[in-house]
């Protein structure tokens, strides 16, 4: 009757049997309290991805671009860095003991191509990032910024190159880049054959130097250039008015000329001279000695052939303008050349016609000298711990001591509060690469050569806001900068 109908309605239509049981709950994956972070390293380094997951009894499987990696089944994955892995995405799938699965977000691997560095021309500046990108700023009247025009830039601007670079060089009005594939590109002023293309026509964009391949190091003087190849082959070109090409004459060369260099440890070029360090620690030089740049007596004005210089145990050499400095295997720097503003840092204003020891008294007690870096009229000392001392001319504040002074210093002065990864000196301007790969600049800022967006001189180190030479390497102690010594190049 009516009651039965009502009961049937409330019972869902009256059928018989048990209700369908709900499905079992889906296992919940473990919470990842630490996800893998992006990694960056040079070929030959080892980087490590890590994950931390809640709970016990978890299992792990690492993935490369979504595909499983055989044998990668721990909570860490150590990866030897190789070029094919550049920009690969790594993640990890974590399975709980109860069956739940959580997959981490992707983490990128950057394979680094170059040691970060800043390179100073006369009125322009170049920089290279760890990924091999090249930036330029400052004066551009000869197209030395490589940007297709003659307009100055007050901030770092990317230079278009056909691949990543591993080293840079700059002269009075030209620039050079060594690419990772061993080619050399050059641009800017070419009135003496600096670009090595067989002409004297300036270029406002980078162009390959003909005939060069498998190059592993480059250097530039004011108006001449050098390339060194694997297998000890070497080429030199450009202005030769003082015999700085070492070819036995004073005839300019508009294209690279082969020279017998042997196995080199280091090489450097000044305004009109060239220095090389052999694998045995011997120092060779040629070119102008008017101000003692070669460390020879004043009676020798120049030499058009490479000669052995009275120095032994040389670990590295640098030169700028009319001065030269080498660091011995014991860590002592020796200086020679023009010294009217005390840039040699030997406690005098006397031009030297022979290498004399540099004063190290300003460096912190117990520190170890890493390099002595000359500019046009000032020189920096930098320790392996990053402390910096400066000597020489300070008319634009290029020593970084907090004020511009008409006087100069013949003895190095500790730059307060500065702890750097690398230091660079130019024409009355100075730069530092910091441990986080940001860049600081100070000194003369004509045409915006400091890169801080102004033309205002800076008397203390000033950060270039928003500019970095990173990514920063991970999993390695410290930050390797520059590529000055041929034994300190990335393993490419």
pLDDT digits (tens, 9 = 90+) for 252-303: 999 999 998 889 999 999 999 999 999 999 999 999 999 999 999 999 999 9
Q: 471: which 2 tokens?
A: 């990514």
CB atoms within 10 A of CB 460: 16
Q: Which of 101, 98, 99, 165 is nearest to 134 (CA)?
A: 165
For 320, the enclosing helix (H) or strand (E) is strand 314-320
What does the alpha-carbon distance between residue 322 and residue 298 come to, in Å, rounded to a whole number?
13
> Scanning the structure block, which residue is given the tokens 């009319």?
322
**63-71 long-range contacts, CB within 8 A, separation 24+:** 63/90, 63/91, 63/92, 63/93, 63/103, 64/88, 64/89, 64/90, 65/89, 66/91
Q: What is the pLDDT of residue 1?
A: 45
pTM (predicted TM-score): 0.92
Q: What is the pLDDT of residues 208-239, one digit of tens each?
A: 999 999 999 999 999 999 999 977 899 999 99
* DSSP state at residue 472: P
From CA 204, how far away is CA 149, in angstroms rounded? 6
Question: What whole-number distance in Å separates Cα of residue 99 and Cα of residue 97?
Answer: 5
For residues 425-437, average pLDDT: 97
Instruction: Quickly tell me which residue has 């001189």 as its tokens.
Output: 457
Q: How confident is the model at residue 2 (pLDDT cuts 50, 70, 90)?
A: very low
Q: Are 162 and 191 in contact (CB under 8 A)?
A: no
Whose CA is closest to 235, among 280, 182, 281, 191?
182
Cis before residue 31, ω within 30 degrees of 0?
no
pLDDT at 127: 98
Average pLDDT, the chain: 93
**H or E stretch at 10:** helix 2-10
Q: What is the pLDDT of residues 72-89, one digit of tens each?
A: 999 999 999 999 999 999
9 — pLDDT class (breaks 50, 70, 90): very low
CA distance 409 to 407: 7
Classify the C-alpha dihedral 66-68-74-80 as positive or negative: negative
């Amino acid at each position: 009757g009516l009651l039965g109908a009502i009961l049937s309605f409330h019972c869902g239509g009256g059928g018989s049997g048990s209700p369908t049981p709900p499905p079992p709950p889906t296992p919940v994956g473990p919470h990842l309290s630490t996800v893998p972070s992006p990694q960056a390293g040079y070929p030959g380094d080892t980087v490590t991805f890590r994950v931390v997951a809640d709970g016990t009894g978890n299992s792990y499987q690492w993935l490369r671009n979504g595909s499983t990696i055989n044998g990668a089944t721990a909570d860490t994955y150590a990866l030897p860095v190789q070029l094919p892995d550049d920009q690969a995405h790594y993640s990890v799938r974590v399975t709980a003991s109860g069956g739940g699965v959580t997959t981490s977000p992707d983490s990128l691997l950057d394979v680094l191509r170059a040691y970060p560095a800043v390179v100073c021309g006369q009125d322009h500046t170049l920089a290279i990032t760890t990924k091999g990108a090249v930036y330029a700023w400052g004066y551009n009247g000869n197209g030395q910024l490589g940007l297709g025009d003659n307009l100055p830039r007050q901030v770092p601007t990317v230079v278009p190159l056909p691949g990543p670079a591993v080293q840079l060089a700059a002269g009075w009005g030209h620039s050079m880049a060594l690419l990772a594939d061993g080619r050399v590109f050059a641009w800017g002023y070419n009135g003496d054959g600096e670009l090595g293309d067989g002409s004297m026509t300036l270029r406002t964009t980078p162009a390959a130097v003909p005939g060069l391949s498998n190059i592993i190091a480059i250097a530039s003087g004011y108006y001449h250039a050098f390339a060194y190849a694997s297998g000890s082959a070497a080429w030199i070109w450009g202005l030769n008015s003082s015999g700085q090409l070492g070819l036995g004459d004073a005839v300019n060369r508009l294209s690279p000329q082969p020279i017998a260099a042997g196995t080199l440890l280091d090489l450097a070029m000044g305004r009109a001279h060239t220095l090389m360090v052999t694998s045995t620690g011997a120092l060779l030089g040629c070119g102008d000695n008017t101000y003692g740049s070669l460390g020879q007596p004043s009676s020798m004005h120049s030499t058009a052939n490479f000669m052995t210089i009275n120095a032994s145990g040389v670990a590295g050499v640098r030169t700028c303008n009319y001065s030269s400095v080498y660091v011995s295997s014991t860590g002592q720097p020796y200086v020679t050349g023009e010294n009217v503003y005390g840039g040699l840092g030997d406690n005098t204003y006397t031009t030297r016609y022979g290498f004399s020891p540099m004063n190290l008294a300003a460096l912190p007690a117990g520190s170890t000298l890493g390099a002595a870096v000359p500019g046009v009229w000032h020189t920096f000392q930098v320790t392996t711990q990053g402390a910096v001392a400066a000597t020489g001319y300070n008319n634009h504040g290029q020593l970084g001591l907090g004020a511009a002074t008409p006087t100069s210093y013949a003895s190095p002065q500790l730059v307060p509060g500065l702890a750097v990864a690398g230091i660079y000196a130019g024409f009355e301007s100075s730069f530092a690469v910091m441990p986080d790969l940001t860049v600081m600049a100070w000194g003369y800022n004509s045409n915006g050569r400091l890169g801080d967006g102004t033309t205002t001189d800076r008397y203390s180190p000033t950060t270039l806001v928003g500019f970095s030479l990173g990514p920063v390497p991970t999993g390695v102690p410290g930050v390797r900068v520059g590529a000055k010594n041929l034994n300190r190049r990335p393993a490419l």
